[in-house]
Structure 1
Amino acid sequence: MTVADPRAWQAQSLLLDYPGDQLYGRLDLLTEVAAALEPAVGAPLLRFLDHVRATPPGELATDYVATFDHRKRCCLFLTYYAHGDTRKRGMALLSLKQTYAAEGLHLGDDELPDHLAVVLEFAASRPDSGRALLQRHRAGLELLRLALRDAGSPWAAVLDSISATLPPLGGDERAAVARLAAEGPPEEQVGLAPFAPPEYMPQPQGALR
């Protein structure tokens, strides 16, 4: 049974952003929210929050960068899993930004529309559209979750919580996860132009500030 809750998506969004003042200023509120969620969704968040409290801020920030910026298998930019560094990814990013705009949400110039923290924030404010968007990237989310587990990353708990808000993987999704795990994201053919303009290139830290 899946438990979709906008409060969960908002909390997960904050926990997957770069760990700065915004996170540390809301630890008590995040703990309160996580404790009020269904156990399958809230318990993993409580485990991660315990880790945040027990880890020096500088160490947590260093671990975040090492995990998400230096490991392709732990990429937080969801369109990367489906399209890799290809021109199709540029079109997917544009389509995603247009989806947000159609719902009345406009991103800042420094926010990439496919960063998981941004997608979760969108889902929290537009649950129906956001759930559909997360489901569309279900295979990439599962690969990220498995990669974080394999790496022994504390952020795996946050991905466990996200998975608990979504339906189980179907047959086609399982096949997509298996393909991604075996082959990795697509690569551009030699001679093609860069996949996206500079404003869509991944930044070294989380998209939300």
Structure 2
Amino acid sequence: MSARLVHQVASWLLSYPDDEVVAALPDLEAALREQRPAAPVRELLEVVERLRDTPVEQLRHDYVDTFDLTRRHALHLSYWTEGDTRRRGEVLAAFKQVYRDSGRVVRLDGELPDHLPVVLEFAAVVDPERGTEMLQRYRASLELLRIELEDDESVWAGAVRAVCATLPGASPRTRTEAMALAGPVQPVETVGLEPYDPRLLPLAEGAR
């Protein structure tokens, strides 16, 4: 299975399950069943099947509860490494510059440019090379998100596992190993809201 297809399907599955996403689930399932049964395919198929079998209103409630009401499952890649710091503004500008350099219109749909479904869509259909580079650069964020979702036994953990499987090297087993992928932590310069949970701060704020 190509990394581009994994990224495309995961982008849909990790997006808010509005009418368009819900209607696309049968097509996503059909596309996956045409692939060889590799691990990422199995991961994504399980997510598709569980989302498909969940009543729509319950699915939307679960999504909001999972991704919008806690920072422990932040889908914004730079949040894990920069937190609420002034440096994050520079990082977000860098994401936008990558999109501009592609010469294509990248739909943000009201999201910040580091929103994982946006980055995955970019990697799948606009510029696979640059998109994959961005995912690799924020591998620590992806792996920490994966670990948090797995700990909470979230249906969406499989989608993140599938994305991680498209990147070089094995996934880290622990938070400490995942954090090490980020390299040196930037000095803290917190602005805005207080962290959701002091035990699970982004890397820039001392996560462990």
Residues 45 and 116 from structure 1, CA distance in 2 versus in 1: closer, same or farther, beyond 3 angstroms?
same
Matching residue of 2:78: 79
TM-score (norm 1): 0.80
Say if 2:72 and 2:145, in contact at 8 Å, map to a contact too.
Answer: yes
Report matched runs for 1:1-209 at 5 Å: 4-38=2-36, 39-106=38-105, 107-108=107-108, 110-125=110-125, 126-169=127-170, 177-178=178-179, 187-189=188-190
Show CA shifts across 1:178-200 (max 9, x none): 469xxx997525xx6x69xxxxx
Instruction: Give CA deviations for 1:82-127 in whole Å, capped at 9, x if unaligned.
Output: 1000011110001100110100133457232100000000000211
User: Given that residues 96 and 114 in structure 1 are in contact (C-alpha distance below 8 angstroms), is that contact kept between their aligned partners in structure 2?
Assistant: yes
Question: What is the alpha-carbon distance in structure 2 between the residues aligned to residue 4 and residue 83 of structure 1?
Answer: 31
Cα distance in 1 for residues equivalent to 2:136 and 2:180: 18
Query: 2:202 maps to which residue?
Result: none
The 1-side partners of 2:178 and 2:148 are apart by 11
What CA distance in whole angstroms lies between the structure 2 residues aligned with 1:137 and 1:16?
A: 17
AA matched with 2:123: A
The amino acid across from 2:58 in the alignment is E
Bigger Cα displacement from structure 2, 131-140 vs 5-14:
5-14
- The offset of 1:49, in angstroms, is 1.1
Call closer, same or farther: CA 1:67–1:40 in 2, change over 3 Å.
Answer: same
4+ residue segments displaced more than 3 Å: 106-109, 184-187
Q: SS of the counterpart of 1:66?
A: helix
Counterpart position of 1:204: none
* Aligned partners of 1:44 and 1:158 also within 8 Å: yes
Q: When the two structures are aligned, how many residues end up with a matched partner?
A: 186
Deviations 1:61-97 (A, max 9, x none): 1111111111212000001011000011110001100
- Unpaired runs of 5+ residues, structure 2, are 194-208
RMSD: 2.7
CA contact (8 A) 1:4 1:166 kept: no
Assess if the C-alpha contact under 8 Å between 1:74 and 1:148 holds in 2.
yes
Provide the rounded CA distance (Å) in 2 between the counterparts of 1:46 and 1:186.
41
Amino acid at match of 2:143: E
TM-score by length of 2: 0.80
Taking the aligned partners of 1:50 and 1:108, their CA distance within structure 2 comes to 27
